[in-house]
Amino acid sequence: MNFPSSQATAAQAWAILQRHAREEISSLRLQELCADTDRVSSLVAVHTSHFNDLPPSKTDLPHILIADISRQRMTLDTLQHLLRLARARELRQFIDLIAWGKYGAAKYKNIHTGDPSFPMYVALRSPANEDMKMIGPDGLNVLDSVHKQWALIEKFATQIRTGQVKGVSGQQIRDVIVVGRGVAVMALRFFYDALRRDKEAGLARVTGSLLGVSSRPLPPRRLRFVSNVDPAAAENAAAELNPA
């Protein structure tokens, strides 16, 4: 989606958007807006992934991401005003900086809670073997070290799942306490809860098919989460555990 080419300062773009919301949008009802099929189709964007190492789709359809903003109380004019404001605020450049570490723009340097180092939101999610680069302040490709750590994590996790790595008592590790906070822990908990209820994930655990091991049941793994400094939370997470 392209930003409008007309030039406007951030203050002007914001004033235009405010006036539009006040005079044209405030009296509209979402039910009436959604009755306009042309409007609905115009406020839906479809992106097809270009990554080659994603698992094949069960329906043989390409992997797509659909952005549907048609259920928002807005019109195409609203979208144009928002894009104009984004252009005036240099949002695209800001996204590039956060995504790929284009270090050196002084006014963007402290973009994450005052931390002068750049966040690596895209680097930490970019697949390996895609020839992608995120250059850090030292001139090195951050993705190289990220993918090396991924490989180590995958190796260690597989060794735990298959029983190659055991606790100090020689027993298999079954329970893991995750200590952390923020989005990283929330995302992990989301996937954990989803996989616990997924039939295919359960079957893969039973057969060991995803780990390249013999078809034998694998002991279930249980994650427990501690996301605050409350001693009671830590005590509850560790309750009934038998350290291996």
Give residue-wise pLDDT tens across range 1-46: 454 545 679 999 999 999 999 999 999 999 999 999 898 889 999 8
Q: Is 7 domain-assigned?
A: yes
Higher-scoring residue by pLDDT: 92, 123: 92
Judgement on whether residues 157 and 214 belong to the same structural domain of the protein: no
Q: Which of 134, 165, 196 is the last residue before a domain boundary?
A: 165
Please report which confidence band the pLDDT of residue 71 belongs to, taking 50, 70 and 90 as the band edges.
Answer: very high
Sign of the CA dihedral with 96 first, then 100, 106, and 111 last: positive
Instruction: Give the range among 6-15, 48-57, 214-223 with minimum mean pLDDT.
Output: 48-57
Residue 104's pLDDT is 42
- Number of H helices and number of E strands within the chain? 9, 4
Average pLDDT for 75-104 = 82
Q: Which of 60, 89, 118 is the last residue before a domain boundary?
A: 89
Residue ranges making up the domain that contains 83: 1-89
Chain-centroid distance, C-alpha 238:
29
191 pLDDT more than 50: yes
Identity of residue 162: T
Judgement on whether residues 142 and 212 belong to the same structural domain of the protein: no
Average pLDDT for 55-74 = 78
Q: Is 243 domain-assigned?
A: no
* Phi, psi dihedrals of residue 130, rounded to the nearest 5°: -110, 5
126 pLDDT more than 50: yes
Judgement on whether residues 149 and 175 belong to the same structural domain of the protein: no
Residue 203's pLDDT is 72
Chain-centroid distance, C-alpha 28:
33
Count how many Cα atoms sit within 13 Å of the Cα of residue 65 in the half-sphere of its side chain: 5
Average pLDDT for 147-155 = 93
Q: Is 244 domain-assigned?
A: no
244 pLDDT more than 90: no
Judgement on whether residues 1 and 85 belong to the same structural domain of the protein: yes
Q: Is 188 domain-assigned?
A: yes
205 pLDDT more than 70: no
Q: What is the largest CA-CA distance in the chain?
A: 71
Higher-scoring residue by pLDDT: 150, 203: 150
91 pLDDT more than 80: yes
Is this model's pTM higher than 0.75 or not?
no
Please report which confidence band the pLDDT of residue 105 belongs to, taking 50, 70 and 90 as the band edges.
Answer: very low
Domain count, the chain: 3
Gyration radius of the chain over CA positions: 24
Residue 219's pLDDT is 64
